[in-house]
Chains A and B, each alone.
Chain A
């Protein structure tokens, strides 16, 4: 017994180190699975408020360009609205809408890590929940991962764990959108069969298979493509429309039918 105590006392620093290392490795390895750890995310109250304060100071510097972007987008939407046939009033009944849109602002952004997360200043009190889609006026940004009462973290499309249904705009062939953690302005589209004709510059948009994003939200254009190892599918490099380094205003999109879709899919699976 004496010897055991002596041993512990002698190597107490090493034991402490190993203990702390196991804790941190535990948290790290846990994060390699689908969902981010609930302890380590910047949607928490403390982290959110630190970033909110810093955002409050720095946001003034690019107000002019942000305003210009928003006016451009308004113009686009006005054109759509004015060219719409018939009355638009009857369509604004919220019980009839398939998608509800909320706005938010990015208070923390990163794009240099293999797993990037973005923090926005909207949370549960604005009815933001996990697995809602986040888009900007130029294209998709990511999926809500964790929420607190006033903040939420977004799993960026620049994240190794990200996997989003996407399709070619003109042929409707769909595949999954992933990221290989190399450059922040390119993502990869895989699982498009080799029979599909591709042209550099083709537009990639979100597919209709996911219950997170609406169909036909812009993603990017084909920059380069070649066959994968098995020679039966294309590996496509997609240049993003979004400038991932400079994002401020975002929209959070939620599908009002998502619950029903998920429930139905679960039921179908369990009947197999």
Chain B
């Protein structure tokens, strides 16, 4: 069961990187929107796991995306930020429930899942576009990009997560 989990996560990692780089980085919806679906990795990752290992893994994930899309280390910075903040976001969204041993993402309500995903995406995009544009004089541009890209990413992630839904056990 444990090795099975590892295999699934490795496959997910590789597929999400390839899909992101080869498909979604070339989408250029309205000329500038490139949704970042690889955030789903953090959404799907098992909850009760070593936190340091998780942050390390997310560092690798961001690094591989950056490596392939010539964005320096912006994706890495944004990804490790949400990896670090994930337990805090979960506690905020799921309340005390999430501390229980048998808590699973599939057991949470639709609204909670949606809120969790949306928070991950918004924080990620905020860090990402702030670093990418790198000047607060362009605050409006940053907000515009965060808003439009977050919406697109959220819609696509919801579609993906319902397509490959985690089975309710």
| Chain B, residue nearest A30 (CB) | B72
| A42 near B69: Cβ-Cβ < 8 Å | yes
Question: Known: A24-B80, A28-B77. Contact between A153 and B70, CB under 8 A?
Answer: yes
| Smallest beta-carbon distance B102→chain A, Å | 24
Interface string of B49-69 (1 = CB under 8 A from A): 001100110010010001111
Interface size for chain B: under 10, 10 to 19, 20 to 34, or 35 or more residues? Answer: 35 or more
| B74 near A28: Cβ-Cβ < 8 Å | yes
| A27 near B84: Cβ-Cβ < 8 Å | no
Chain B residues within 8 Å of A46, by CB? 67
Interface hit among A12-20, A72-80, A171-179, A257-265: A12-20
Determine chain B's interface SS by DSSP, over half rule: helix
> B92 interface residue, CB < 8 Å from A?
no
Chain A residues within 8 Å of B68, by CB? 42, 47, 50-51
Q: When the two chains form the complex, which single residue of B22, B33, B59 contacts A20, counting CB atoms closer than 8 Å? A: B59
> A183 interface residue, CB < 8 Å from B?
yes
Chain A residues within 8 Å of B83, by CB? 17
> A25 interface residue, CB < 8 Å from B?
yes
Question: Restricting to A78-129, which residues have a CB under 8 Å from any CB of B?
Answer: 108-117, 119
| B132 near A40: Cβ-Cβ < 8 Å | no
Interface hit among A31-39, A189-197, A198-206, A228-236: A31-39
Chain B residues within 8 Å of A109, by CB? 26
| B66 near A40: Cβ-Cβ < 8 Å | yes
> A23 interface residue, CB < 8 Å from B?
yes
Chain A residues within 8 Å of B67, by CB? 40, 42, 44, 46-47
> B81 interface residue, CB < 8 Å from A?
yes
| Smallest beta-carbon distance B89→chain A, Å | 14
| Chain A, residue nearest B50 (CB) | A13
> B134 interface residue, CB < 8 Å from A?
yes
How far, in whole Å, are A41 and B73 apart by their CA atoms in the complex?
Answer: 11
How far, in whole Å, are A36 and B83 apart by their CA atoms in the complex?
Answer: 27
A interface residues (Cβ-Cβ under 8 A, vs B): 12-14, 16-17, 20-21, 23-28, 30-32, 36-37, 40-42, 44, 46-47, 50-51, 54, 108-117, 119, 153, 181, 183-184, 245
15 extra A-B contacts, CB within 8 A, seeds A42-B67, A110-B70: A16-B55, A17-B80, A17-B81, A20-B76, A24-B73, A24-B74, A25-B131, A40-B66, A40-B70, A40-B72, A46-B67, A51-B68, A112-B32, A112-B34, A245-B28
